[in-house]
Structure 1
Amino acid sequence: MGTTSLKLPEDLKQTIQQFAEQDRVSAHAFMLRTLQDEVRRRQQRAEFVADAMAAAAEIDAGGPVYDAEDVFDWLHARIRARGTDEVVPEPVPVRGRGSKPKKKAA
């Protein structure tokens, strides 16, 4: 494990010490945990953005697009069906692969 020195403003150092005492850990353990949490948060955000960009690219390439109301209905049905043998069919896309036929204007 590497060693890093930090020069902290006195008020920040005191605040860290107070939080560490509340958590019953050393200031070092508190700072290490805080840094680990921030790194994990940033990694999760980067993965989220990458997944969103991939989903957008899939839609742009003709992938399926669903009506939000259909998705919410499907989620609620899945929740109600938890622990049962009920099979909940997935919503049908409104655009893209396997989409519903377009309704004609009246």
Structure 2
Amino acid sequence: MATISVKLSDSTRDRLQTAALHLGLTPHALMVHAIEDAVQLAETRHSLIEQALASRQRVATTGLVVDGAAFGDYLKAKVRGNAAKRPEPMGIENFVASGK
């Protein structure tokens, strides 16, 4: 296992020790958990950004979009167990021209 040194202010170190004590962990274990959570959050954020950029590229390439309100209604109907038809994509020029 690799070792990384982290410099903490005295107040942060004291808070870390108190928090770890309350959780029944060592300060080291609490830091490891905190780092793992932060890395997971960063990876999730990166994945969402990649998906958003891919969606943006798809719209730029195809010019097709789905009305957000109509798609929201579709999802609500599906969650409620109602039959619903997925909204059809439309040209972005029609979407913008309709004022939606």
Cα offset, 1:43, TM superposition: 0.8
Radius of gyration: which is bigger? 1
Cα offset, 1:7, TM superposition: 2.6
- Unaligned ranges ≥5, structure 1: none
Cα offset, 1:30, TM superposition: 0.4
Cα offset, 1:38, TM superposition: 0.6
Structure with greater helix percent = 2
Residue in 2 aligned with 1:25?
A: 25
Residue in 1 aligned with 2:70?
A: 70
- Unaligned ranges ≥5, structure 2: none
- Separation in 2, partners of 1:58, 1:89: 22
CA displacement 1:10-50 (0-9 Å, x = unmatched) = 11100111111121111001001001111111111111111
Q: Where do 4+ consecutive residues of structure 1 move more than 3 Å?
A: none
**Percent same amino acid among aligned pairs?**
26
Residue in 1 aligned with 2:14?
A: 14
| RMSD (CA atoms) | 2.1
- Separation in 2, partners of 1:41, 1:7: 22
